[in-house]
Each structure stands twice: as structure tokens, then as C-alpha cells.
Amino acid sequence: MKKKEIIRKFVVYGVYIIFLSALQVSFSDSFSINGQVADLMLVFVILTGYLFGLKDAIVVGLITGLLRDYYAGPAFEGGTDQPVALLGLGMLLMLYAGVISSVLFTKAFHRKLPLGFVQVMIVTVSYKVVGHVLFVIMLAISGRGSEYLSLFEIVTDSLIPQMIVNLLATAPILLMLRYMGPYKNGINKRLLLGSGETENLWRTN
Amino acid sequence: MRRLFSNKIFIVILITLLVVVIIIMSTIPGNPIRTITAPVSFVIDPIQKGVKSVGEGITGFFSAVTEGMDIRKENEELKAEIAQLEYQVAQGEEAIRRWEELKDAFHIKDTFENYRIIGAPVLTREADEWFSVIRIDLGQNDGFLLFQDQSCAVVDARMNLIGRIMTSEPESSKVLPLLHEGFSVSAKVNTVNGAVVRVSGETTLKQDGLCKVTRIPVTIDLKVGDELVTSGQGGLFPAGIPIGVIISVDYSSELNRTAILQPYANLNDIKDVFVMVPEENSDTTADTEAVSVVSPR
């Protein structure tokens, strides 16, 4: 990879990560449906993994997760009256969102742009399900009781609104990555080497 | 070994273990992990403030344009002038509202005379339903120094409880909101010798903007409409900060008597908050020695 390409990759990823995360936490009330905020960070990580592969997904996932933890990292009470700010949970969740997105259905989907929406939908649902499970575990560990949302509430108040709002956010981010992204022509050529894929597989039509 | 590090699964597992160690260490008081976020604060906060101010500028611009177009429909000739005047009136009303709120805050300050009240704008809000801690524009560089395991109460302009400070970084501080599942505070009914109860955030109530009241003594019956204020027990919050009003009670179980509280503060509308910092020469709590303000904003 040429030096110029590497610089482009770092700059574009850096700008997008900082911009999207700042946008999400600064104007969360403007990008929300039924209390669920458009998860620009998550969508960005999913699409990076989907379009540009595992290595990019790991790096972007970790950095985005660190910012997520920094801005709004969850608090863990741990049975005391002094809650501590957890660091790393966002990194872990974003890492796996990227990793799953980079391996799940990429051969079947051929990294085609319209199917990026399907990928966002699948990983968003997975993220929410894992999030709810983790949260229940954390509540149990911290001794805050066993009361939690019902399955119906999780589906109607959490999963569906989050999916809708994330799908709405997918279109601009997908276009940004494809046409103003870290790689020329929106293609990570390293993924093509040895995979038997051609650039045609990336085309949308 | 080199072959091992080229294995993608191995790399993912290795990173996972590393992150899990970070998570575990971050729960230990006094850990050095938290210093990771200090450089992030220096870089990210100014950029985030920039994005926020640009966004607000654009929003303001489009609002002004929309107002101007409405006025044009009514009177084409006076469009520009009316648009300008409308905008100025809106700005003036906002300024008057803010001034009234600040005036109220200063009045309350007399009530809590052992506390210094520092205003700070809200920088960031929740990232999703679990990452819901907020950040305010008050950090160590502003002279607000918060040691490990210490905290301060955060209130709105009408002195209603909003939450508590969790951590302070160079450029900003994290606030744990009242509705957050990790938040709890000792409260009492706002009457002479009112019953002491516990108010805490609850997952099932958060989306509706409500809190749960527990540890209600068997001898006391809370009633709908009762006002709860901080009790002052525990030393973190001064007594008497209004929290909210009881909207329903559930005494179906004698062992688990609960109630639902509607907080006075509406977190969605809050743009500025006020941090209550104990004065260094007051004898309120042990917090006094730990929390210091070198040079308030």
C-alpha cells in the first residue's frame, strides 16, 4: 500500500469517527425515534467491517468504542453507593459489531451496497439483544433487582425503533464510505487478493 | 509465533482479553486505567464543542430562514425586516427566560450557603439506551478538581436535582443522571420529620422519565402528591434539594413497598446545569476536603 493511500485511510477514518461520534452525542434528541437515538457510531463500524474487512473493523471498532466509553460510558454500581464509570464495554461491543459485520454474509452479499442495509439490520438486532442480556447480567451483579423490560417492551420500544433509526442513518454513511471513503473507488483491494472476487462484485448494479 | 499473530481469530481473542482486563480494572477504585481518557479529553472535547456550535449555528440559520419565509407569505414587502425582528424577539425572550432562571438559582444559593454553585452547559447526551451518561463543560482545566470516590450534586436552574458528578477530566466532567439505573439517593418527604426513603433509577421507568422509590418504612404511608427532597444522609447531597413528586404507590407487598416518582427536572430540555461544590471551610461533609474549586468559571 502506498504512503499516500495509508495517509488517506487514517485521515478519512479519523475524521469520520470523530465527526459521527460528536454528532451522535451532541444532537441525540434530533436523531431519535421513540427514545432510541440513531447509532451513527455503530452503523459506521458495521459498514466499515462490511465494506472493508476485518482489520479495518477491528481498528475502527476499538477507537469508536473508546469514544463511546469516553462520552457516555455506562455506570456500574457494584453494590456500593459510588457508581464507577466503566471503560472498555463500548470498545468490546463495537469491536464485535465490526468483526461480526466483516465475516457475516460477506460472501453471500458480495459486499454490495444495497445489502449493507440488511447487514446493518442484522448486526443492530444482534447488538441490541446482546446489550439487553449484558444489562440484565449487570443488574444482577450489582444487586439492583431482577425487574427488567418485558419481551414485548424490548421489541416495540427498543429493537424496532432502533432498527428504523439506524437504517435511516445507513444511507448517508454508506454513500460516504463508498464515494468519499478511506479507499479509492470505495474498494479495499486487499480483500480481493486471493479471494477470487473481482471489482465487479462490488458494484451496485 | 509469527504465524500465530497472523491468525485473525487469535488476534480477535487477544484483543478481547485485553479489553476485558481494561473493563475489570476500570471497576477498581484508584486504577490507572482512567488516565487513558485524559489525552482523549484534550483532543476530543474541543472538536466536539466545535461540532456542537456549528450544528447549533446551522439549526439557528434554518430556523431564521423558515421564520422569514412564513413572514414573506403574510407581507412580501416587509419580509426581511419582520424576519429580523422576529429573530431578535426570540433571542430576547430566551435571554429573559435564562435571566429569570439564573435569578432563581442565586436565590436558592442562599439556602445552601455552604455550597458554591458553578454553572456549566451540557456538552453531550446519551449515545444509546445503555450509554446514557451525560457530559458537561466543566473540567479540571476550569479548576474543578474531583478526586476518586468523591462526587457533587448537580441541579437545574430551579435547583431541582438532576444527578451527580461521576468523574472529572481535563476539559469536561461526566454526570450520572437521576434516571440512570446506577443512580440512587436517600430522600425524605418534604415535611417536618418526613419519612426517609430511597429514590433510584429503574430500567423499566427510564423511558417514561420516572424513578422508583423503595425502602418505604412500614409505619409510613407515602401519598400521591407527596414531595420528596434529598435527606442529606450519606453526606453526598445536602438536605433539601427538591427531587420530584410521588405519582403512584404500591403497597401490595409489605416487604417491598414501592412508589413511582416524577422528577421535577426534565433532562431532555436542559441546556445548562449547576454543580454544587462544598465550600472548603464548611463543616458539611468529608467531601469538603476532597472536592475543590481553584478558580471557578
The predicted-structure confidence for A145-160, as pLDDT tens digits, reads as follows: 667 888 898 999 899 9
- The CA distance from B210 to A67, in Å, is 28
Same domain, B151 and B217: no
Q: What ipTM was estimated for this complex?
A: 0.84
Count of alpha carbons within 13 Å of A193, Cβ hemisphere only? 4
Kindly list the residues from chain B whose CB atom is less than 8 angstroms away from the CB atom of residue A92.
16, 19-20, 23
Lowest mean pLDDT among A1-10, A14-23, A27-36, B194-203: A27-36
Residue B296 in any domain: the answer is no
pLDDT at res. A79: 54
Among A90, A67, A71, A79, smallest CA distance to A13 is for: A67
Percent of chain A with pLDDT over 70: 88
Same domain, B75 and B165: yes
**φ, ψ for residue B173, nearest 5 deg:** -135, 155
pLDDT at res. B290: 40
Among A99, A101, A17, smallest CA distance to A63 is for: A17
Same domain, B214 and B202: yes
- The CA distance from B157 to B167, in Å, is 22
A window 2-61, beta carbon within 8 A of B? 18-19, 21-29, 35-37, 39, 41-42, 54, 58
pLDDT at position A203 over 60: no
pLDDT at position A173 over 90: yes
- Can you list the alpha helix ranges (DSSP code H) found in chain A? 3-26, 40-52, 54-72, 89-103, 106-109, 115-141, 151-153, 160-179, 189-192
Same domain, B38 and B159: yes
pLDDT at res. B9: 87
The predicted-structure confidence for A97-129, as pLDDT tens digits, reads as follows: 999 999 888 778 878 888 999 999 999 999 999
Interchain pair B182, A76: CB under 8 A: yes
The residue among A204 and B95 whose pLDDT is bigger is: B95
Interchain pair A25, B127: CB under 8 A: yes
Are the beta carbons of B123 and B45 closer than 8 angstroms? Answer: yes
Domain with B250 in it:
184-264
A window 128-157, beta carbon within 8 A of B? 131, 135, 139, 142, 144, 147-149, 153, 157
Same domain, B79 and B105: yes
Cα dihedral value A173, A176, A182, A185, nearest 10: 130
DSSP type of residue A4: H
Are the beta carbons of B83 and B68 closer than 8 angstroms? Answer: yes
Specify the number of domains making up chain B.
3
Residue B206 CB neighbours (<10 A): 19
Helices (H) and strands (E) in chain B, counts: 6, 14
pLDDT at res. B287: 40
Are the beta carbons of B179 and B162 closer than 8 angstroms? Answer: no
Same domain, B38 and B151: yes
C-alpha cell recorded at residue B34: 482512567
C-alpha cell recorded at residue B131: 450509554
Kindly list the residues from chain B whose CB atom is less than 8 angstroms away from the CB atom of residue A147.
202-204
What's B229's domain CATH number? Answer: 2.40.10.350
How far CA B117 is from CA of A204, B105, B144, B152, in Å, comes to: 57, 9, 12, 10
Among A44, A46, A37, smallest CA distance to A16 is for: A44
Q: Domain-by-domain residue ranges, chain A? A: 3-189
Same domain, B157 and B45: yes
How far CA B69 is from CA of B196, B225, B278, in Å, comes to: 56, 46, 50
- The CA distance from A1 to A114, in Å, is 28
Same domain, B163 and B23: no
pLDDT at position A84 over 90: no
pLDDT at res. A43: 96
- DSSP secondary structure string for all residues of B79-129: HHHHHHHHHHHHHHHHHHHHHHHHHHHHHHHHHTTTEEEEEEEEEE--SSS
Residue B43 in any domain: the answer is yes
Q: For domain A3-189, give the fold.
A: Arp2/3 complex 21 kDa subunit ARPC3 (1.10.1760)
pLDDT by 10s per residue, chain B, length 297: 667 777 888 889 999 999 999 888 888 777 777 777 778 888 888 888 888 888 888 877 777 777 666 656 666 767 667 767 877 888 888 888 877 777 677 665 556 767 888 999 998 888 888 888 899 999 888 888 877 667 889 999 888 999 999 888 888 898 999 998 888 899 999 888 888 999 988 888 888 889 999 989 888 888 899 999 998 887 788 888 999 999 999 988 878 889 999 999 988 778 889 999 887 655 444 343 344 444 333
Q: B37-74 and A54-72 helices cross at what angle (nearest 10)? A: 80
pLDDT at res. B25: 86
Residue B289 in any domain: the answer is no
Among B247, B267, B293, B272, smallest CA distance to B120 is for: B272
